Chain A
Amino acid sequence: MIRFILLQNRQGKTRLAKYYVPLEDSEKHKVEYEVHRLVVNRDSKFTNFVEFRTHKVIYRRYAGLFFSLCVDITDNELAYLECIHLFVEILDHFFSNVCELDLVFNFHKVYLILDEFILAGELQETSKRAIIERMGELEKLE
């Protein structure tokens, strides 16, 4: 399962943090710091998987943002790597050519999208269309 999802920029600022395991705030800060350090120093020619404590982090960089997923050590790495990409495609579609600033000023929307995509640390829906349609439904209710 996914234990947490982090979106961080190169400086280490957290743009999104979703935890599917219970951690206290101080632990979260530690985790965010460590994961950032781990991924920001890796060469682009290296794998997108790296051991983290007793789990592993699947990550990918898109422009100035690192998308990191912490998963169980037995999980399928490539499947989660493409899960990250699917998420980015959804964000890209929703915000029409997404950039970091979109995610900053609309962080609450990003959480909404994420909640349609992943639940309980597992993939909930893999149809981009279904998710975007749902977001449309929700916007009407605002």
Chain B
Amino acid sequence: MALSGMRGLSVFISDIRNCPNKEQERLRVDKELGNIRTRFKSEKGLTHYEKKKYVWKMLYIHMLGYDVDFGHMEAVSLISAPKYPEKQVGYIVTSSLLNENHDFLRLAINTVRNDIIGRNETFQCLALTMVGNIGGREFSESLAPDVQKLLISSSCRPLVRKKAALCLLRLYRKNPDVVNIDGWADRMAQLLDERDLGVLTSSTSLLVALVSNNHEAYWSCLPKCVKILERLARNQDIPQEYTYYGIPSPWLQVKAMRALQYFPTIEDPNIRRSLFEVLQRILMGTDVVKNVNKNNASHAVLFEALALVMHLDAEKEMMSQCVALLGKFIAVREPNIRYLGLENMSRMLMVTDVHDSIKRHQAQIITSLKDPDISIRRRALDLLYGMCDVSNAKDIVEELLQYLSAADFAMREELSLKAAILAEKFAPDLSWYVDVILQLIDKAGDFVSDDIWFRVVQFVTNNEDLQPYAAAKAREYLDKPAIHETMVKVSAYLLGEYSHLLARRPGCSPKEIFTVIHEKLPTVSTTTIPILLSTYAKILMHTQPADPELQKIVWAIFNKYESCIDVEIQQRAVEYFALSKKGAALMDILAEMPKFPERQSALLKKAEDAEVDSAEQSAIKLRAQQQMSNALVVTDQRPANGAPSDCWRA
């Protein structure tokens, strides 16, 4: 357990561990930092060995969570040390303490470059590693050509070349221009002929990055990728050390398949056939085994193969095989596989052919919506949202609503928004739609934005048949002892407009309607009161012949609010009072709202925006944005073929 040769460091670590509390630890750390600071500043100067010891201590202190800014300079200066042990510390600690935004790092560029182009292989590796881990744009511009040289140099050991490959990858990510495509495309293809699997693994990562930005230039790499995959899948002279629980480098298989997903098509029929053979074997030949690691590794390959199959837009038969597989997966006990089954099913939805086969698994997916694991619940919600259409909308939305009461806060907003959108897009009939929205408001009022209730009002306004129904429902909700403020707003509005349609029903006389609304006034905030005032005015207006008792009560309310400090409330109170005194002339002014013109659903727009703004983006949307494959292009919402869109013909 002891450190070789750095006793001071061991002792320090032990001291820290022996501190009985945080206070003591802080004291010990401060003492050490003070000591280090003094020694660094002292005239005598430190031996490289001492510097090494102090810089490691600083890293340890940094890991504990303390600030060690003053030591950056020292760490960077060690990079220029002549001997390996000290140089190593300089490089490694610098990588941990600093990042590309630190100016100090620039001071090291020359030394780093010298190490890279120099003869000392160990120094080359140190430099490549640091640049690969924390290099920024400046490093990119000065070092990329040298790194490229190392990568293709046959006199360099695989050790150096694999580091060069990944170092170049980083530099490329920081500044894509450093890889001159014209010269590089052929080289890249050659690199894929590499025998050493370590170098090949690194080079393939580089390839994935290059191809993701520009597949046109790298067509020659496509057949090579397929060859790599074939070699691995058939376990053709793969050294034992690259076999993981019997599986030939699962990671390289995954990388190769990932690279292939950036080419839109495979035109050569031979290559296409070979690839499909490999994929077919993976799809059908991956068994579930007891060993967890082997299982994970083989399924890692399987899921990537699935993604590739989807991308290649395979024949219907293969796609059904995929769906069948996924159907199995979403029902297994193992949570990781279940999760991935759900996630991949969502991705499959982009391939519209399989919509029907996926719907067969609806019951299982709904069960997953209630899984104790939030990761699985999220995937299930995404999938349900994606697979909803006219035939299953009612079931799905009702499940979502039911689940809403039990859902944790993290999911409620997303659930509400999605339920509202689905209800609107696929409602079998409008009264159901109204029911759903009102239920939403009732169960999750806090998470239901104004857009949602404005929308339901628009629908009701535009559909005369719906109006008595909506008003009656609103009336029902008002009977509940405690309702959400949004419910008060929407109910008051609807009843204001349409309660006169209910006048003959029990409990729905103007006076009764007014009373039940007014009871809620003390429970609401100043944003709702203006709506209530409008409602009272409308009720009065619709009560023909006039009810003098009701008039008196309402006028008293208007009078009361004439001196309200809120300007909107005050204005409405004053104006409604004056208007209502005018009697019959009021009819025109407070007539029912005209129909709303056709407009894009604010909800759908919100869903798109929400998914861009919120911290928890839907995995599918992000995946669709990041992968430029044709098969996975997110088509705009499928045309709604349910009733709601028809009713928009005003």
Partner of B170, one of A73, A77, A120: A120
Main DSSP-derived SS at the A contact region: mixed
- Asked whether, in the complex, the Cβ of A74 is within 8 Å of the Cβ of B626, the reply is yes
Closest to A13 in B: B64
Query: Interface 1/0s, chain B 197-209, versus A by CB < 8 A?
Result: 1100110010000
From 116 to 142 in chain A, residues with beta carbon under 8 angstroms from any chain B beta carbon are 119-130, 134, 138-139, 141-142
Interface status of A81 (Cβ within 8 A of chain B)? yes
Closest to B376 in A: A47
- Asked whether, in the complex, the Cβ of A124 is within 8 Å of the Cβ of B201, the reply is yes
- Asked whether, in the complex, the Cβ of B303 is within 8 Å of the Cβ of A78, the reply is yes
User: How distant is the Cα of A33 from the Cα of B208 in the complex, in angstroms?
Assistant: 32
Given A17-B63, A46-B335, answer yes or no on A76-B303 (Cβ-Cβ < 8 Å).
yes
Given A25-B67, A124-B202, A125-B201, answer yes or no on A108-B169 (Cβ-Cβ < 8 Å).
no
- Asked whether, in the complex, the Cβ of A78 is within 8 Å of the Cβ of B99, the reply is no
Partner of A79, one of B5, B300, B627: B300
Chain B residues whose C-beta falls within 8 Å of the C-beta of A45 in the assembled complex:
335, 372-373
Given A19-B99, A73-B622, A127-B198, answer yes or no on A78-B300 (Cβ-Cβ < 8 Å).
yes
Interface size class on chain B is 35 or more
- Asked whether, in the complex, the Cβ of A126 is within 8 Å of the Cβ of B201, the reply is yes
Interface status of B163 (Cβ within 8 A of chain A)? yes
Closest to A73 in B: B622
Query: Which stretch (B31-39, B242-250, B477-485) binds chain A?
Result: B242-250
User: How distant is the Cα of A47 from the Cα of B63 in the complex, in angstroms?
Assistant: 28
Chain B residues whose C-beta falls within 8 Å of the C-beta of A62 in the assembled complex:
none
Chain A residues whose C-beta falls within 8 Å of the C-beta of B626 in the assembled complex:
72-74
Query: Interface 1/0s, chain B 338-379, versus A by CB < 8 A?
Result: 111000000000000000000000000000000011111010
User: How distant is the Cα of A101 from the Cα of B13 in the complex, in angstroms?
Assistant: 11
Chain B residues whose C-beta falls within 8 Å of the C-beta of A48 in the assembled complex:
336
Interface status of A51 (Cβ within 8 A of chain B)? yes
Query: Interface 1/0s, chain B 56-76, versus A by CB < 8 A?
Result: 100110111101000000000
User: How distant is the Cα of A92 from the Cα of B142 in the complex, in angstroms?
Assistant: 39
- Asked whether, in the complex, the Cβ of B1 is within 8 Å of the Cβ of A105, the reply is yes
The residue in B5, B85, B100, B373 that gathers the most chain A C-beta atoms within 10 A of its C-beta is B373
Chain B residues whose C-beta falls within 8 Å of the C-beta of A19 in the assembled complex:
99
- Asked whether, in the complex, the Cβ of B13 is within 8 Å of the Cβ of A85, the reply is no
Chain B residues whose C-beta falls within 8 Å of the C-beta of A47 in the assembled complex:
335-336, 338-339, 373, 375-376
- Asked whether, in the complex, the Cβ of B300 is within 8 Å of the Cβ of A119, the reply is no
Query: Interface 1/0s, chain A 10-34, versus B by CB < 8 A?
Result: 0001111111101111000100000
A contacts, CB < 8 Å to B: 13-20, 22-25, 29, 42-43, 45-51, 53-54, 72-74, 76-79, 81-83, 85-86, 101-102, 104-108, 111-112, 115, 119-130, 134, 138-139, 141-142
Q: List 6 A-B contacts (CB under 8 A).
A: A14-B65, A46-B372, A78-B297, A81-B336, A108-B56, A124-B162
6 smallest CB-CB distances across A and B, nearest first, come from A78-B300, A22-B99, A127-B241, A120-B170, A46-B373, A79-B300
Extra contacts, 6 of them, besides A47-B335, A74-B622, A108-B3 (Cβ < 8 A), are A18-B133, A22-B136, A45-B372, A49-B336, A124-B198, A139-B4
